[in-house]
Amino acid sequence: MSQTQSTYDIVCFSHLRWNFVYQRPQHLMSRAAQRHRVVFVEEPIFFCASESKPIPHLETYRDGGVHVAIPHLPEGLSEDRVGSLIRRLVKDFLEELGVRDFAMWLYSPMFLPYLRGLEPKAVVYDCMDELANFRFAPPVLREREQQLFRWADAVFTGGRSLYEAKRLHHPNCHCFPSSVEVAHFAQARRPLPEPRDLAPLGRPRVGFYGVIDERMDTELLEAVARRLPGCEFVMVGPFAKVDPAEMPQLANLHFLGMKSYAELPYYLAHWDVAILPFALNDSTRFISPTKTPEYLAAGKPVVSTPIQDVVKPYGEKDLVYIADNATGFAEAIRRALLEDQTKRQRQADAFLAAMSWDYTWAKMEQLIEEALERKQLASLPKASLLPQHAPTPAGLARAAETLLSPHSGETLLSPHSGETLLSPRSGEAKVVRKL
């Protein structure tokens, strides 16, 4: 183990809240917390100045090994003022924890104005989505991403198509499609108790879980449900940036709300087909849904629209049915219900065997440590690079390899990005820190 592996903490800034959906940040930071102290800073929550707590403060709590910090600020402040308050709140909290040597991990370029004055040992940009293409994205986001590319020591992407879009912007860019906890979802292959809200629904059942937002093709969903009146369509997940009242209203279409990550196998166990009814638009151009391997790990046949990172590799390997219109989608569901899935599932299991969130984190951690070592080497006076004793030929070769290794490369694991769900979990008592 190198010295850098045990001497730095991680401060993560995320636009996704820790207790909203359990997805890539939670999978990675939970694993990071096994060997590093992790502070997870969320976007600020703004309150009306007339409310009972008009003082800017930092709400904190601990979930396992992760320290979660949520800034609460009065609304109506300028961006500069918001940035200065968050910097002060976060710096005070880091000092309270004794966090000094840390790597900074960013999920959004919009945090950049908050970070002046912080001195990380390394900066990682984990780009899990093309946020600039999402609904209500700030116009300045693309410009700030370019600034982040110039600052970051390493860039990770959440899927292959996103990697192809970002790799020319940074010399140390690596593709890490989000992975899967196979054992967790494989529970769905065993007899599990049926959730109460599923029990009244007939069979066959066609299910989806995930955030229901502008990426969902609701017109396709409605058309497919009308073509298959004998199927019950089950939609599990919270609504975001869309009006629930505008969702299709059909007798065989059911929106059951958000469920915990622990509950998902219980729902999957009582579905017959799992679906990815995503629209083909700017917001889905670079997504790599983590649901794809999760559905397969649960032993379910999967039907998807032609999302790039689903077609390649899952569609090309005949692990997922692909359909680009309502007629084809409905027909694919019929086929999935009727066909013997034994061979497809065996192939899927073999494919998933190489995927693991533990392995993904281990490779990311290795790249962070390599970046730290490069920076440490670059900061040494030239004289200190001279050997104190005559090196062996093998030692010279190793030194040359270290000094000449390029600040570039690609790490490609097996495909994703997207979300699985987690309802708020209990942690330690929350603490409010005032300025």
Inform me whether the pLDDT recorded for 37 exceeds 80: yes
Angstrom CA distances, 327 to 151, 225, 226, 235, 322, stand at: 48, 11, 11, 20, 12
Residue found under tokens 């192939």: 347
Render 293-341 in DSSP notation, one character per residue: HHHHHTT--EEE---HHHIIIIITTTSSEE-SSHHHHHHHHHHHHHS--
Read off the pLDDT of residues 142-186 as tens digits, 9 standing for 90 and up: 999 999 999 999 999 999 999 999 999 999 999 999 899 999 999
pLDDT at 178: 81
**What sign for the dihedral angle of Cα 16, 182, 198, 302?**
positive
pLDDT > 90: percent of the chain: 76
Three-point CA angle 290, 239, 56, nearest 5°: 100
Inform me whether the pLDDT recorded for 413 exceeds 50: no
Read off the pLDDT of residues 271-294 as tens digits, 9 standing for 90 and up: 999 999 999 998 899 999 999 999
pLDDT, greater one: 354 or 412: 354
Average pLDDT score over residue span 363-390 = 77
Inform me whether the pLDDT recorded for 3 exceeds 70: no
Q: CB-based burial of residue 168 (10 Å sphere; 0-12 exposed, 13-18 middle, 19+ buried)?
A: exposed
**Residue 334 one-letter amino acid:** R
pLDDT, greater one: 241 or 235: 235
**Cα separation, 357 vs 365, whole angstroms:** 12
**Cα separation, 30 vs 27, whole angstroms:** 6
Q: Mean of the per-residue pLDDT values for the chain?
A: 87
Inform me whether the pLDDT recorded for 189 exceeds 60: yes
pLDDT, greater one: 2 or 253: 253
CB 37 within 8 A of CB 130: no
Residue found under tokens 């969320």: 42
pLDDT at 428: 53
pLDDT at 63: 96
pLDDT at 186: 98
**Cα separation, 102 vs 91, whole angstroms:** 12
Render 145-177 in DSSP notation, one character per residue: HHHHHHH-SEEEESSHHHHHHHGGG-TTEEE--
Inform me whether the pLDDT recorded for 399 exceeds 50: no
Residue 124: its H or E element = strand 122-127
**Residue 413 one-letter amino acid:** L
Inform me whether the pLDDT recorded for 335 exceeds 90: yes
Inform me whether the pLDDT recorded for 392 exceeds 60: no
pLDDT at 7: 78
Read off the pLDDT of residues 46-82 as tens digits, 9 standing for 90 and up: 988 665 656 899 999 999 999 999 999 999 899 899 9
Inform me whether the pLDDT recorded for 259 exceeds 70: yes
pLDDT at 74: 92
**Cα separation, 110 vs 15, whole angstroms:** 9
Lowest-confidence region among 174-178, 331-335, 336-340, 429-433: 429-433
Tally of CA atoms within 13 A in the half-sphere of 89 that contains its CB = 29
Residue 404: its H or E element = helix 393-404
**Residue 400 one-letter amino acid:** A
Assign 1 a pLDDT band (cuts: 50, 70, 90).
Answer: very low
Inform me whether the pLDDT recorded for 391 exceeds 90: no
Assign 132 a pLDDT band (cuts: 50, 70, 90).
Answer: confident
**Residue 383 one-letter amino acid:** A
